[in-house]
Amino acid sequence: MPSGALRMIIAGALAVAVGHRQAAKADPVPGPAGFARATAAGQRELEATFAALLSPDRVRSWHRYFTAEPHPAGSERNNDLARYIAEEWRKQGLEDVTVHRYDVLNTAPRQVSLEMVAPVRYEASLREEPYEADPDTKNPRVSPGYLGLSTSVDVEAPVVYAHSGNPEDYDLLRRHGIDVRGKIVLVRYSNPYSYRGFKALTAEREGAAGILIYSDPAEDGFKRGPVFPDGPWGPESHVQRGAITYDFIVPGDPLTPGWPSVPGARQVKPEEARSLPKIGGLPLSWRDAKPLLENMDGPVAPREWQGGLPLEYRLGGGRVRVRMKVEMDNRVAPNDVVEGRIRGGERPDEWVLLGNHRDAWEFGGVDPSSGTASMMEVTRALGEMLKSGRRPRRTLVFCSWDGEEVGLTGSTEWGEQFADELKSKAVAYLNVDSSASGPDFEPQASGSLAPLVLELARELPDPATGLPLVEALRAARAKARAEARDETPLIDDDLVDVRIGSGSDHTVFLNHLGIPTIGLSFDGPYGVYHSMYDGFYWMNRFGDPGYRYHVLLARIWGTLALRLADADLLPYDLSALARHLRAFVDDLENATEKGRLDLAPLRARIEALEAAGRRLNENAVRALASGAPAPDLERRVNRGLLALERNWLDADGLPGRPWFKHTVYAARYTYAHLELPGLTEAAEEKDWGRAAHQAAILERAVARNAALVDDLAAALAAAWGGTSP
């Protein structure tokens, strides 16, 4: 919003607010942030009603239903589940329930095989073994291991062990005189973690003929603890499926990069699609990787490259040769996004979005059907409340995404289709991918929303200990710091993770549309990710027996949604965001050669934003304590706050990947978080001219928002008294 127009809005707000001026001195409201004295108690009561409606038995039965069969993206079963959700939502009382269909590039294996042809013959099974304890593991519809959107290949070549498959690993191979061109690289999933698509892109750039990605027991198998079906870790034949799409460049349907796949939409040719790999590959269990590793010759791999198998890992001198055949069925298929709403009673044009993906590589016990089960319980409870006349003030929009596992596809297409409407209406996007694989609360939030999550973590108890969730968060963060030998004092500001990478459906909302996001999950020991053992049995035996954390997640998710939907003034905390921005700048400066970057102007603007944010917070508290703000002023301040989040967008986007438009938040190619992305990437590449240009873009965004926050704070001050600049 141009600042001239904004000033006119504020001036209008002042005119209506004058009649409502009240005593400025009042105790802060003992309710959730953003609520006035008159509305806080009612909100507390509403939240208690919501919590009382949630049932672990119901969540368990949702979970059984969704995990009964494999339901990968675009499959018939997954589309059936879309219709099932639509039907259930209608019964629950949700409004405007719609199934949006997007015809997108989907992926499935037609035939896959891997054979070691030298020095001995070994036919990899590429299959996971069934176990009596878990009847679902005998389901004949489970697929072999494959990599989503791999290209089709039929190649025979020597194998080189390339550790984690990151660029520095190839540098080490080069130092040993090993060239991977025309060869097949064998890499590990983790150590350190990077998204498998980045491993594929790196292998492609290095000229490899194919890639094999295996699960080493050091990362998610017997080296970590007891394995399935006796423990939560991966057994010998477990395979981590997953896509290798280059969605860190542009997510969504690779054939419609940046625009929605609606009927009649232009499509690029597959060979022109930047997010499609040109390399083929397969995922392997350690059982199938072991014969290869055992027979390798060449130099012994460095100590950090040695894995959990009882053998000496070698780099590969040409002795081991394999034939890899990957015949993929990558073609356009329907992805179904289910949308349902509870229309806002007072501000139907301000939307709080909640989303979870439905597609799973197989049964999706944790990923994502735990989240789907929690979501269905949230909608059921809110539907009940609606039936008894409790309609939220703002609109709640619920989405069940498809194709997340392939390329964040459904959410990206939907976000692109409704981009303009979302930019003007969306208050926040609350994502839950997996809801529970254990008891460890792992909240993430954009800087401005982190205090909202923290506030709730102080109120809700952990079901195992009875202590507030915030206590467990403090303990976990303190432990992580101790392990990293980080001696900076831990403050509550650091408890909610504000460094948000990619890898789930929040991406289009945060990075492309400038909508602040929250991501929620409970985590624990989980070695069966993307394998067929991630199912109902695993959840009931290890992940969340009793479904207490599924229910707690539903409670957190729904309560945050209700607070955002009902708040008198939107609880964005700009001073908190500014403090995090300062930390991001510190990190960048520490990682950059001294004297190369002049970040003083940026720091000055962040200081101004922090001060303005503090004034806005104080004035909001004062206004809310004096009674419900005048409706017009309230509305206009809220509209200003919405505009503010969108101010972080830069129309040109990041150099080289213009779809990513947020100036504060992006992700690395590895999916790792990346703050101040334009500036950071330029500094890392030592392109100081570009860095200065990117710093200027950031300075302007921060300055724009500091001025806007000042205006909003002044508007509140004029109505109720308070601090002005």
Stretch of residues binding Zn ion (CB under 5 A), selected from 80-88, 285-293, 368-376, 457-465: 368-376
What one-character DSSP code corresponds to residue 270? Answer: G
**Catalytic residue chosen out of the listed positions 88, 350, 377, 404:** 404
Task: Check residue 336 for interaction with Zn ion (CB under 5 A).
Answer: no
User: C-beta of 357: minimal distance to Zn ion in Å?
Assistant: 6
Closest by CA to 572, choosing from 450, 432, 705, 703, is: 450
Q: What ranges in 18-98 are assigned the alpha helix state H?
A: 37-53, 56-66, 76-92
The CA distance from 646 to 24, in Å, is: 31
Task: Check residue 433 for interaction with Zn ion (CB under 5 A).
Answer: yes
Stretch of residues binding Zn ion (CB under 5 A), selected from 232-240, 367-375, 470-478, 639-647: 367-375
**Closer of 367 and 377 to Zn ion (Cβ):** 367
Binding Zn ion by CB under 5 A: which of 134, 169, 206, 367? 367
Stretch of residues binding Zn ion (CB under 5 A), selected from 429-437, 572-580, 598-606, 646-654: 429-437
Question: Site map for Zn ion, 583-622, x if CB under 5 A?
Answer: ----------------------------------------
Asked if 309 contacts 222 with a C-beta cutoff of 8 angstroms, the reply is no
User: C-beta of 538: minimal distance to Zn ion in Å?
Assistant: 15
587 three-state secondary structure: helix
**Closer of 368 and 627 to Zn ion (Cβ):** 368
Site for Zn ion in 619-678 (CB under 5 A): none
Hey, what are 449's tokens? Answer: 């929303």
**Closer of 359 and 566 to Zn ion (Cβ):** 359
**Closer of 280 and 503 to Zn ion (Cβ):** 503
User: C-beta of 69: minimal distance to Zn ion in Å?
Assistant: 17
**Closer of 56 and 368 to Zn ion (Cβ):** 368
* CB-facing half-sphere around the CA of 372: CA atoms within 13 A: 31
User: C-beta of 371: minimal distance to Zn ion in Å?
Assistant: 7
The CA distance from 649 to 319, in Å, is: 52
**Closer of 373 and 695 to Zn ion (Cβ):** 373
**Closer of 368 and 410 to Zn ion (Cβ):** 368
**Closer of 66 and 313 to Zn ion (Cβ):** 66
Hey, what are 8's tokens? Answer: 């006119």
Other CB atoms within 10 Å distance of the CB of residue 466? 8
**Closer of 136 and 367 to Zn ion (Cβ):** 367
Let me know if 383 is exposed, middle or buried by CB neighbors in 10 A (0-12, 13-18, 19+): buried
User: C-beta of 241: minimal distance to Zn ion in Å?
Assistant: 12
The CA distance from 123 to 261, in Å, is: 40
Stretch of residues binding Zn ion (CB under 5 A), selected from 123-131, 365-373, 511-519, 631-639: 365-373
The CA distance from 376 to 91, in Å, is: 12
Other CB atoms within 10 Å distance of the CB of residue 640? 21
Task: Check residue 253 for interaction with Zn ion (CB under 5 A).
Answer: no
Stretch of residues binding Zn ion (CB under 5 A), selected from 155-163, 267-275, 427-435, 439-447: 427-435
The CA distance from 365 to 368, in Å, is: 7
Q: How many residues does the chain have?
A: 725
Asked if 198 contacts 169 with a C-beta cutoff of 8 angstroms, the reply is no
User: C-beta of 454: minimal distance to Zn ion in Å?
Assistant: 25
Residue for token pair 């038995």: 57
The CA distance from 149 to 146, in Å, is: 9
| Residues that contact Zn ion, how many (by CB under 5 A) | 3
Closest by CA to 471, choosing from 439, 446, 519, is: 439
Work out whether the CA dihedral 246, 249, 255, 259 comes out positive or negative.
positive
Residue for token pair 């207490």: 548
* CB-facing half-sphere around the CA of 121: CA atoms within 13 A: 0
**Closer of 368 and 722 to Zn ion (Cβ):** 368
Stated as kind and residue range, the H or E segment containing 591 is helix 574-591
* CB-facing half-sphere around the CA of 302: CA atoms within 13 A: 9
User: C-beta of 534: minimal distance to Zn ion in Å?
Assistant: 10
Asked if 393 contacts 94 with a C-beta cutoff of 8 angstroms, the reply is no
Buried/exposed 164-180: b ≥16 CB within 10 Å, e otherwise:
bbbeebbebbeeeebeb
Stretch of residues binding Zn ion (CB under 5 A), selected from 257-265, 361-369, 578-586, 673-681: 361-369
The CA distance from 287 to 316, in Å, is: 19
Stretch of residues binding Zn ion (CB under 5 A), selected from 122-130, 179-187, 189-197, 366-374: 366-374
**Identity of the amino acid at 138:** K
Q: Residue 133 — φ and ψ, nearest 5°?
A: -60, -30
User: C-beta of 243: minimal distance to Zn ion in Å?
Assistant: 11
Stretch of residues binding Zn ion (CB under 5 A), selected from 239-247, 430-438, 686-694, 696-704: 430-438
**Closer of 204 and 433 to Zn ion (Cβ):** 433
508 three-state secondary structure: helix
Write the Ramachandran bin of 656: left for phi over 0, alpha for psi from -120 to 50, otherwise beta: left
Q: Residue 155 — φ and ψ, nearest 5°?
A: -145, 145
Q: Is 404 a catalytic residue?
A: yes
User: C-beta of 473: minimal distance to Zn ion in Å?
Assistant: 22
Residue for token pair 């996971």: 128
User: C-beta of 415: minimal distance to Zn ion in Å?
Assistant: 17
User: C-beta of 77: minimal distance to Zn ion in Å?
Assistant: 17
Binding Zn ion by CB under 5 A: which of 257, 368, 640, 677? 368
Site for Zn ion in 483-512 (CB under 5 A): none
**Closer of 128 and 367 to Zn ion (Cβ):** 367
CA 630 to chain centre: 37
User: C-beta of 19: minimal distance to Zn ion in Å?
Assistant: 51
The CA distance from 44 to 49, in Å, is: 9
The CA distance from 214 to 196, in Å, is: 10
The CA distance from 700 to 716, in Å, is: 25
Stretch of residues binding Zn ion (CB under 5 A), selected from 290-298, 425-433, 505-513, 571-579: 425-433
Binding site for Zn ion (CB under 5 A): 367-368, 433
- Catalytic residue numbers read 404
